[in-house]
Amino acid sequence: MKNIKLNNGVEIPSVGIGTFTMSPEDAEDAVYNALKNGYRLIDTANAYVNERAVGRAIKRSKVQREKIFVSSKLWPTEYTNPNAVDETLERLGLDYIDMLFLHQPAGDWKAGYKQLEKAYKQGKIKSIAISNFEGKYIDELLKICEIVPQCIQVECHPYFPQTELRKVTEPKDIKIMAWYPLGHGDKSLMKEPIFIQLAEKYGKSSAQIILKWHTQMGFIVIPGARSEEHIKQNIDLFDFELTKDEMQEIAKLNKNTRYYNGGEKELLQYAMWQPTYETK
C-alpha cells in the first residue's frame, strides 16, 4: 500500500473503501472484509447512517486501531451541535477520528469548521477535511480558517480530473479524495480504448487501471464495493506502474464533465435533511 503525506505530516493510505449507500449490515461486512484483505482506510459519514456498523467491523477485524485510518463527515445539521464530534466518536466506538470532514458547504459551515479546528487542537481528530467545497466555498474558507484543511473530497475521475480546483489545492498541499472515482460506473468510461488497451497490457481490469491513474495523480480513492472479490480487486494496484506516456494519453480524456450536476438550491435543500442515527 502506498501512503500519502498530508500537509500536517499525517499519513493516509492512497486506497480505501467507501461506505456511501451501504446499509449497516452491508457496511459492516464490507469493512470487515476490506480490513481482512489489507485495507487500512475506511470512509463513512453521519449521513450514511452506518457509523456504528463501521465501528463494529473495526472491532471484529482485530486489526490494531492505530493501523487503521478512519474518516467520517459531519452533516450540516450537526455544524452548530457542540457535541457533534463526541457523538460521532461514540457511534464509531473510537477515541479519535483520523480525519473528519464537513460534508457540505451548507448551513452554518463556518461554525462547523471552527468545531473541527477545536477538536483538532484537542486531539479528537488527527486531520481536518472538507467535502464538496469548490469554487467560492473553498476560496472563502481559506480566507477565514485558522488551520488549512488537509484534504478535500470531491467528484473526480478521468472525465473530470478537477483541473480548476487543483489550482487552489496544490499550492496549499490539500489532497484530493475522489468520490465517483470510477465515473459512477459509467460503461463508456470503462470501455475507453486506452483503458481496454492498458488492462490487456498489465493483466488488470479497466477499473483497476482507472484507480491506478488516481493514485499516480496523487489522489486518494475510496471505491465502494460489497463483494469480497471486488474489494480484493480494488486494492490490487501496486504491482505495476503506468508510464508517463500512458498517463498523458489518459489526460486527453478530460471532458470537464461531471456525473453529479446538482445546483446550489438542491444542495441547500438536501442539507436540511436530518439523519436518524443507528441506536445500537
Distance CA 166, CA 143 (A): 17
- 61 Cβ neighbours under 8 A, 6+ residues apart: 31, 32, 35, 36
**Candidate list 32, 48, 120, 180, residue with the active-site label:** 48
**Which stretch of DSSP H or E encloses residue 118?**
helix 109-122
**Are the beta carbons of 249 and 194 closer than 8 angstroms?**
yes
39 is catalytic: no
Distances, alpha carbon 18 to alpha carbons 106, 214, 220, 221, in Å: 22, 15, 11, 9
Torsion of CA 224, 227, 230, 234, to 10 degrees: 40
Distance CA 18, CA 155 (A): 13
Which positions are catalytic? 48
